[in-house]
Chain A
Amino acid sequence: MSAEAQLDITQAPRTNWLVLLPLFLVLGLGLLLALNLLQKKRDQDAGRDSKEVPSPLIGKPVPAFDTLDLVTGAAVSTKALRGQAFILNVWASWCAVCQIEHPVFNAYAKTPGALPVIGLNYKDAPDDAKRWIAQLGNPYNQIAVDENGKIGMDLGVYGAPETYFVDRDGIIRFKQIGEMTAQILATQTARMAGPR
């Protein structure tokens, strides 16, 4: 073997190590994506949808609104609700999942220690909404009318149903996107009653 060939061999380990760097980067990236995928699977098993958009309003004051009650026509405002924790349930008569989750709220409203449930009738025709309530029952202490969806936009609503848990300081503590369950209602109610 010639001297040049030997030189090549002594240089080989250093070069090889650097050449492998992209491979390690790709492997690292693959690992990261795999972990993310697993997390997504875990979220799905826990009943969370990966398409859900995290709300920037968690931990922030509930946006103020001042509107009328669907049934009584009385004023409904965040101002009047201050000082007590409540649940804000966004619903509409055109929303199929709202109909599915409605019995859960009907049952919840009858349980002792239940928080007041405020309905937000989102982008709905008032007549349709009234008929819906008459047929399926009214678990709501008040139903705020949001016909043009302005209150919904302030809340970051991007579909119905969505449910917000507001503590007695008027801070949004939790947001459920999609169907509400009795279990979530129970755990979040207990959380609201706790410190802070």
Chain B
Amino acid sequence: MMRFLLIWLGLIALSAAHAIDPLPFVDQKQEQRFQAVATELRCLQCQNQNLADSDAALAKDMRLQIFEMMQKGSSDQQIKQYMIDRYGDFVIYTPPFNWQNAMLWLLPLLAALSGLSFVLLHFRAQPERKNTLNNDVAVNKADAGDNW
């Protein structure tokens, strides 16, 4: 069991190491920038992975493109725009706010607001309900002695 676990862990470590190709970064700061941009972009071949995690051939090419653009002095925004121009808003995990994406952005807000309004209404109605409850208790006193 232990050996199986070790092999399994080893395989995970291997795959993780494999996904990140060794690129000659200028300094650590650039590598961090690279990682940040790569995690914000989606791999289109394996759609639930970001570029930093994906081992797909296209993801490798896109990472290389990010790296090359960084060497040429492109800003993070320019790199992201470059990818959006080619692959559409879908490529980025934080899509811009426009009429096509309005639902995407507004729905969580709407859901939160409706939940909040429900809770507020519920608690505002509460004291009144308590009163009626007391009334019920008072009325029920007349039933005292009835065994039911």
Contacts and interface: CB of A to CB of B under 8 A. Distances in A.
Which of A1, A22, A155 has the largest count of B CB atoms less than 10 A from its CB? A22
B31 to A, nearest CB: 22
Contacts of A126: none
A91 B54 CA distance: 22
A104 B67 CA distance: 39
Contact of B61 (A5, A29, A53, A149): A149
A47 interface: no
Contact of A123 (B57, B84, B111): B57
Contact of B132 (A4, A22, A26, A54): A4
A46 B103 CA distance: 26
A5 B132 CA distance: 6
B10 interface: no
Given A22-B115, A53-B44, A123-B57, A156 B131 contact: no
A1 B44 CA distance: 68
B12 to A, nearest CB: 26
Interface string B120-140: 011001001101100100100
A162 to B, nearest CB: 11
Assign chain A's interface to a size class. Answer: 20 to 34
Nearest to A15: B125
A158 B121 contact: no
B132 A8 contact: yes
Given A4-B131, A15-B121, A29-B107, A56 B57 contact: no
Interface string B88-124: 1111000000000001000100110011011001100
Main secondary structure of the interface of A (DSSP, over half): helix
Given A29-B107, A159-B45, A56 B87 contact: yes
Given A5-B135, A11-B128, A18 B121 contact: yes
B86 A22 contact: no
A25 B44 CA distance: 33
A57 interface: yes
Interface string A72-96: 0000000000000000000000000
Contacts of B19: none
A173 to B, nearest CB: 17
A187 interface: no
Contacts of B143: none
A156 B86 CA distance: 5
B58 A159 contact: yes
Contacts of A110: none
A98 to B, nearest CB: 15
Interface of A: 1-2, 4-5, 7-8, 11, 15, 18-19, 21-22, 25-26, 29, 32, 51, 53-57, 123, 148-149, 153-156, 158-159
Interface of B: 44-45, 47, 57-58, 61-62, 65, 84-91, 103, 107, 110-111, 114-115, 117-118, 121-122, 125, 128-129, 131-132, 135, 138
